[in-house]
A and B are shown apart, each in its own frame.
Chain A
Amino acid sequence: ILNVEQSPQSLHVQEGDSTNFTCSFPSSNFYALHWYRWETAKSPEALFVMTLNGDEKKKGRISATLNTKEGYSYLYIKGSQPEDSATYLCASAGSSNTGKLIFGQGTTLQVKP
């Protein structure tokens, strides 16, 4: 994998459904994996920064896992609510010295009441 790729591109779920998205990133030269939430007409805000293989992070109903050996991360939302509707971005940092941060194209989640 040469780029950061996210799937699916978009997702429509009903309120109360649980959902998950995938982020694939280059496993070589890995330094950190970031997840961001981006609401319409706002700026992206960080959810998680993950660095260790097997890392799991949680914030409320949102959690994420990381597999650096195979180059993927999952973001889970349990019991989706309409306010979870947003675009979720992941970003790969390949170097701690330069801080270069490459984003995937995002997964847009729409939660219907």
Chain B
Amino acid sequence: DAGITQSPRHKVTETGTPVTLRCHQTENHRYMYWYRQDPGHGLRLIHYSYGVKDTDKGEVSDGYSVSRSKTEDFLLTLESATSSQTSVYFCAISTRQGSMNTEAFFGQGTRLTVV
């Protein structure tokens, strides 16, 4: 295991409510990512972080915000959940080894259903 924990693992929420997903790592890795998985789309990048308080938008960032106040935690917030945000969310981490960025290690995923 790469020391990544996502919480919660499953959540059902109502349209319009705020939701926060947490990704916690014990590896002290520099880079952290949030992806969503939808049929036919593979993994789409929502937001990513390259250091504490350093974050940037991915391909599908609308309706999502993130925060990284410490190395080990990367939070994904849906300010007002919509049914289109029903998905499986994956957190991933990677780091630098010498001049190379390593492969990404993934969490177990969070299944979010917005009703």
Contact = CB atoms under 8 A, between A and B. Distances in A.
Contacts of B40: 105
Contacts of A29: none
Nearest to A107: B42
Given A100-B56, A103-B45, A43 B106 contact: yes
Contacts, number: 70
A44 B101 contact: no
A31 B101 contact: yes
Interface residues of B, number: 30
Interface string A85-113: 00101010100111111111110000000
Interface of B: 30-31, 33, 35, 40-45, 48, 50, 56, 58-59, 90, 92, 94, 96, 99-109
Interface of A: 6, 31-32, 34, 36, 43-46, 49, 51, 87, 89, 91, 93, 96-106
